[in-house]
């Protein structure tokens, strides 16, 4: 049968598009939902990983970007702009190429992973490094979009949320119902907002107004990095820090929506330390075979923290979204790992070094 068509064609009836909307797509979405054997054993639950690093530019941002760029194109925009910790800019740059648009990106100087910078560069984006953090970049991007002919494609643009909600649809389509708990990393808080919207919509109405696809909605569990945890502190963090640069954000744009997702779902938003994030990052790659970037591991770190605290009842069905591909930020894979050994072209020597002889 035909290949996956991208989220707009797959979920057209649930998205704000018309026949006239030009569909700018890299066939994003349709990502794997991978059973996590070790995490399931550790928590005595049924844990799945929604592997968003399998999207065309390597993160969940592509779901929102196909919508944002398609709508910008429909409205006649010639240029788009975003603030980014790296993944949004990589995605915007790629989709802008497909749309024949200029893409401008604002990133915090020295604080985005090399792979993401490489993507924005190779797709021809106009990159400005800002002497400030992500929150400063977003303020600047908003100001530029209000005063100059350039469309903002950050998740403050509501069509981004519309695109990203499709990940929840896919999960319900694959599992046959909503999970009991959904766990996410939280930075600017767009994604937790989007999943909650998607789950609610699928529990409310089915295709063509028929029976709903899900009988319930999950509890939403969000995790911020301890040094960048404004939603946990209850106030903006002026100088956010964490090794998980993707979620190094002190004043999330979707603050209220994240709190609503938490409260309406009976969930929580908590923090995980960089140490817990790195432990989960290593567990995912070494024991589940899934290579993610550090920010993505915050969801799994959070699940393990909750399990240790006795907050995870056995037997539940849990989905953790892992948001971005490990290749984005390979420094953390190499750091602290044993160096590869050099051998001559000699089978006996190689066998000895491999412990086979
Ligand atoms: N994980 C990754 C890999 C991300 O890139 C982001 C956000 C998040 C999690 C958090 O999602 O912001 O919706 O709460 N990255 C944005 C960017 C900020 O610019 O790429 P959120």
The sign of the dihedral angle between the CA atoms of 177, 14, 58, 184 is negative
pLDDT tens-digit series, residues 16-25: 999 999 999 9
CA of 155 to the centre of ligand 1 (A): 10
- Residue bearing the CA closest to ligand 1, atom 15: 246
CA of 349 to the centre of ligand 1 (A): 46
Task: Report which ligand 1 atom has the smallest distance to the Cα of 186.
Answer: 14
Beta partners for residue 48, in sequence order: 35, 319
User: Which of 112, 164, 191 maximizes ligand 1 atoms within 8 Å of its Cβ, making it the mutation to test the pocket?
Assistant: 191
- Residue bearing the CA closest to ligand 1, atom 3: 324
Q: Measure the CA–CA gap between 313 and 304, rounded to whole angstroms.
A: 12
User: Which of 162, 185, 221 maximizes ligand 1 atoms within 8 Å of its Cβ, making it the mutation to test the pocket?
Assistant: 185
Task: Report which ligand 1 atom has the smallest distance to the Cα of 83.
Answer: 19
CA of 203 to the centre of ligand 1 (A): 26
Backbone phi and psi for residue 170, each to the nearest 5 degrees, phi listed first = -60, -40
pLDDT, residue 337, reads: 86
pLDDT, residue 1, reads: 67
pLDDT, residue 44, reads: 98
What's the chain look like in SS3? CCCCCCHHHHCHHHCCCCCCCCCCCCCCCCCCEEECHHHHHHHCCEEEEEEHHHCCCCECHHHHHHHHHHHHHHCCCCEEEEECCCHHHHHHHHHHHHHCCEEEEEEECCCCCHHHHHHHHHCCCEEEEECCCHHHHHHHHHHHHHHCCCEECCCCCHHHHHHHCHHHHHHHHHHCCCCCEEEEECCCCHHHHHHHHHHHHHHHCCHHHCCCCCCCCCEEEEEEEHHHCHHHHCCCCCCCCCCCHHHCCCCCCCHHHHHHHHHHHCCEEEEECHHHHHHHHHHHHHHHCCCECHHHHHHHHHHHHHHHCCCCCCCCEEEEEECEEHHHCCHHHHCCCCCCCCCCCCHHHHHHHCCCC
Asked if residues 292 and 284 have their Cβ atoms less than 8 Å apart, the reply is yes
Give the residues surrounding ligand 1 with Cβ less than 6 Å away: 59, 61, 84-88, 155, 185-191, 246-247, 293, 295-296, 323-324
Contacts of 256 (CB under 8 A, 6+ apart): none
Task: Report which ligand 1 atom has the smallest distance to the Cα of 154.
Answer: 19
Asked if residues 43 and 309 have their Cβ atoms less than 8 Å apart, the reply is no
- Residue bearing the CA closest to ligand 1, atom 6: 246
ipTM of the complex: 0.99
CA of 50 to the centre of ligand 1 (A): 15
User: Which of 247, 292, 322, 332 maximizes ligand 1 atoms within 8 Å of its Cβ, making it the mutation to test the pocket?
Assistant: 247
- 304: tokens are 């393990």
Alpha carbon dihedral 19, 21, 26, 32, in 10-degree steps, equals: -60
User: Which of 256, 302, 323 maximizes ligand 1 atoms within 8 Å of its Cβ, making it the mutation to test the pocket?
Assistant: 323
Q: Measure the CA–CA gap between 182 and 120, rounded to whole angstroms.
A: 30
Annotation-wise, does 188 bind a ligand?
yes
Q: Measure the CA–CA gap between 67 and 142, rounded to whole angstroms.
A: 19
Beta partners for residue 220, in sequence order: 182
CA atoms within 13 A on the CB side of 71: 19
pLDDT < 50 regions, the chain: none
Annotation-wise, does 187 bind a ligand?
yes
Backbone phi and psi for residue 107, each to the nearest 5 degrees, phi listed first = -125, 150
Question: The sheet that has 181-185: what strands, in order across it?
Answer: 33-35, 46-51, 317-322, 181-185, 219-225, 268-272
CA of 346 to the centre of ligand 1 (A): 47
Q: Measure the CA–CA gap between 234 and 244, rounded to whole angstroms.
A: 21
Task: Report which ligand 1 atom has the smallest distance to the Cα of 222.
Answer: 14
CA of 342 to the centre of ligand 1 (A): 38
Task: Report which ligand 1 atom has the smallest distance to the Cα of 164.
Answer: 13
Q: Measure the CA–CA gap between 162 and 86, rounded to whole angstroms.
A: 21
């Amino acid at each position: 049968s035909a290949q996956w068509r991208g989220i707009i064609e797959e979920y057209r009836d649930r998205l704000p598009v018309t026949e006239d909307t030009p569909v700018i797509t890299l066939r994003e979405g349709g990502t794997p939902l991978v059973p996590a054997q070790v995490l399931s054993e550790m928590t005595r639950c049924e844990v799945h990983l929604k592997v968003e690093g399998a999207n065309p530019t390597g993160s969940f941002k592509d779901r929102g970007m196909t919508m944002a760029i398609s709508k910008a194109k429909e409205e006649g925009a010639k240029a788009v702009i975003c603030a980014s910790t790296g993944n949004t800019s990589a995605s915007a740059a790629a989709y802008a190429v497909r749309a024949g648009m200029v893409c401008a990106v604002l990133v915090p100087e020295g604080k985005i992973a090399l792979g993401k910078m490489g993507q924005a560069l190779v797709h021809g984006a106009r990159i400005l490094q800002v002497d400030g953090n992500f929150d400063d970049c977003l303020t600047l991007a908003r100001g530029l979009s209000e005063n100059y002919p350039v469309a903002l494609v950050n998740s403050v643009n509501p069509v981004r949320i519309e695109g990203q909600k499709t990940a929840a649809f896919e999960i319900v389509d694959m599992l046959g119902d909503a999970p009991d708990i959904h766990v996410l990393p939280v930075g600017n808080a767009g994604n937790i907002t989007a999943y909650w919207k998607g789950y609610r919509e699928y529990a409310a109405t089915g295709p063509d107004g028929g029976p709903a696809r899900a009988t319930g909605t999950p509890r939403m569990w969000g995790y911020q990095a301890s040094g960048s945890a404004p939603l946990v502190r209850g106030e903006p963090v002026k100088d956010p820090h964490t090794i998980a640069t993707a979620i190094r954000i002190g004043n999330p744009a979707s603050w209220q929506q994240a709190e609503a997702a938490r409260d309406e779902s009976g969930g929580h938003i908590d923090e995980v330390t960089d140490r817990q994030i790195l432990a989960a990052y290593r567990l995912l790659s070494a024991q589940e075979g899934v290579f993610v970037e550090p920010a993505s591991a915050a969801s799994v770190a959070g699940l393990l923290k909750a399990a240790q605290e006795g907050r995870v009842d056995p037997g539940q069905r849990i989905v953790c979204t892992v948001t971005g591909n490990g290749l984005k930020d390979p420094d953390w894979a190499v750091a602290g790992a044993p160096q590869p050994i050099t051998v001559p072209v000699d089978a006996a020597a190689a066998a000895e070094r491999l412990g086979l002889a």
